[in-house]
Amino acid sequence: MNGLMMNMPLLIKNIAHHAERLHGDREIVSITADGAKHRYTFKDSMMRARKVSTTLDNLGISKFGRVGTLAWNSYKHLELYYGVSCSERVLHTINPRLFEEQLVYIINHAADEVIFFEAMFSNLVSKLILQCPNVRYLVCLDKFDQNNGRHLDQAMDYEMLINDSEEGLWEDFSEETASGLCYTSGTTGNPKGVLYSHRSTVLHSYAVCLPDSAALSAVDSVLTVVPMFHVNAWGYPYAALMAGSKLVFPGHLLGDPKTLVDLIESEDITTAGGVPTVWHGLLSYLKQNKKKLDSLNRTVIGGSACPPSMIKEFREVHDVRVLHGWGMTEMSPIGLINQDKDKTKNLSGDAFLSQALKQGRPIPGVEIKIIDENGNDLPWNGIDVGNLLVRGPWVCRSYYEEDVEASFDNGWFDTGDIASVDTNGYVLITDRAKDIIKSGGEWISSIELENIANSHPDIEQSAVIGVHHPKWEERPILVAVRKKGAIKNLEKELLDWFQDKVAKWWIPDKVIFIEQLPLTATGKVSKLALRAKYSQANEIL
Ligand code: ADP
């Protein structure tokens, strides 16, 4: 027997309608390309988003047609988020930090019909356009200078197109319809496309707003630090409109600590989300300038492991609660968030830190399990470590036009991460399978070693990689960035620092000091680059 409730499709346009009706005067603030501040309301934004839909109709962009964007976090990008998806087309957010050949690959693979780009990407676009025959139109989001890019004579002006368009009507259609496309960064092989649907996006937005998740609400002011070209800025552009939170976009300055701190102060930011590398820069800036974060009460940190030293500094110096989170492009992206349970809420000191450094428990809707190499379920005891598998309505079930089934096993997605789960359901990620270090047949957690190294007062940042060893197969080495004024004999001091904190055979064999850790296109430390450079390091041990 079926239930007798209304069968309303879960569509992104319903988020937009709700935002306009209930929070129409809520502000959206953006830093523009020239560094100025632009502000308008949810109502203004959605009105222009409907004009984007008509613009796409006028250009003859097909139903389900892919619309590429090369843009930072801004109000215009938000207009595209809604205007493209709500008119039954697919928003393909393109990560400009990828290599040129990867960009050509994904634009052609997605068969983008039009690309909306910011003028600062003109040179890049002029190189790409010659290699991407499907792209029929180019639209520049800001004042376009013909001198900026060759082969771009035909680029159209976004404002002119919008001004010439009526507000389109957003019709109903199936909630399964594709809404967005985001490619993984392709550290191994070609990037793979993750195709979100309206249904997955709406359900994920509800999940982001839950109190034991990122808990967005109508009294929040949200700073989006994660780029809108990477996994929909963790879903904030949808969740904030659903909740009625003020939305603040740092534009192209999303990695600039001064801009972020200025925005936090001037726009009364209560919450934000970003990868550890960005927060690292922000905390150093605050320290140097003797500033405190008054309005911010919590921040979601994820994308790679958040060092406990960062959680501690946020808590002790700024009274900000770090909500460690974990997710993937394939999961829209949020899967785990570390919010308290009754039994963890009063922890302090080391007990607090060892709880807070866990990546969290699954948000409702996401199911997880850990398995051993034979596929057997492992118990949730905080000790057994295995491959982490997930499933849920916002987890991808296959890649876009790709024949890779390896990651999908009987309705579960193999995340490629290695984890343990404690009796309360909190997950601790110990490594990425491809980063794991196996020494003498036993696993060593690089994340645990990095956390210890990062807690040393003279260490700015660090990464642990495995290098080939003739006897032990692999051994860990530590690559680290020193703080200014660090002591002279830091290598010995650091290796001593590990004594009594981990088993002897876990202690790295060597420390290599470098000026800066290499980053991936999504702002994470690139272990691939480190391995390529230091894979022979054991020969100098
Ligand atoms: P890419 O790194 O290729 O851009 P994603 O952004 O989807 O792809 O990254 C997902 C991966 O990032 C996860 O599988 C996991 O390895 C890592 N990750 C995400 N959050 C965390 C976290 N809090 N701690 C440790 N690893 C994390």
Contact by Cβ (8 Å): 511, 491 = yes
Q: Which atom of ligand 1 is nearest to the CA of 187?
A: 3
What is the CATH code of the structural domain delimited by 437-540?
Answer: 3.30.300.30
| Two structure tokens written together for 455 | 């807690």
From the candidates 438, 442, 501, 539, give the one annotated as an active-site residue. Answer: 438
Catalytic site includes residue 265: no
Catalytic site includes residue 184: yes
Nearest by Cα to 144 from 131, 134, 154, 136:
154
Q: Among all chains, which residue has been given the structure tokens 């534009």?
A: 251
Ligand 1 pocket check: which of 524, 525, 526, 527 to mutate, most ligand atoms within 8 Å of Cβ? 524
* Three-class HEC string of 54-111: HHHHHHCCCCCCEEEEECCECHHHHHHHHHHHCCCCEEEECCCCCCHHHHHHHHHHHC
| CA 302 to centroid of ligand 1, rounded, Å | 7
| Sequence spans of domains, the chain | 27-337, 437-540
- Bridge partners (DSSP) listed for residue 533: none
Give me the helices (H) in 320-379, please: 349-356
3-state secondary structure of 478: strand
Contact residues of ligand 1, CB 6 A cut-off: 184-185, 187, 302-305, 324-326, 328-329, 333, 359, 415-417, 429, 432, 522, 524
Structural element, H or E, at residue 276: helix 276-288
From the candidates 88, 113, 330, 448, give the one annotated as an active-site residue. Answer: 330
Q: Mark 212-232 as b/e (b = at least 16 C-beta within 10 Å).
A: bbbbbeeebbbbbbbbbbbbb
| CA 278 to centroid of ligand 1, rounded, Å | 15
Sequence-ordered list of residues with C-beta below 8 angstroms from that of 382, at least 6 positions apart, any chain: 420, 421, 422, 423, 428
Nearest by Cα to 102 from 140, 138, 128:
128
Model pTM above 0.75 = yes
- Bridge partners (DSSP) listed for residue 414: 389
* Closest C-alpha residue for ligand 1 atom 1: 185
Q: Which atom of ligand 1 is nearest to the CA of 336?
A: 23
Tens of pLDDT, residue by residue, the chain (541 residues): 999 999 999 999 999 999 999 999 999 999 999 999 999 999 999 999 999 999 999 999 999 999 999 999 999 999 999 999 999 999 999 999 998 999 999 999 999 999 999 999 999 999 999 999 999 999 999 876 666 566 677 899 999 999 999 999 999 999 999 999 999 876 667 899 999 999 999 999 999 999 999 999 999 999 999 999 999 999 999 999 999 999 999 999 999 999 999 999 999 999 999 999 999 999 999 999 999 999 999 999 999 999 999 999 999 999 999 999 999 999 999 999 999 999 999 999 999 999 999 999 999 999 999 999 999 999 999 999 999 999 999 999 999 998 766 577 789 999 999 999 999 999 999 998 888 898 888 889 999 999 999 999 999 999 999 998 888 888 999 999 999 888 888 999 999 999 989 989 999 999 999 999 999 888 888 998 998 888 776 654 4
Q: What distance in Å separates the CA atoms of residue 384 and residue 375, rounded to the nearest whole number?
A: 14
Q: What distance in Å separates the CA atoms of residue 483 and residue 1, rounded to the nearest whole number?
A: 66
The CATH architecture that domain 27-337 belongs to is 3-Layer(aba) Sandwich (3.40)
Catalytic site includes residue 484: no
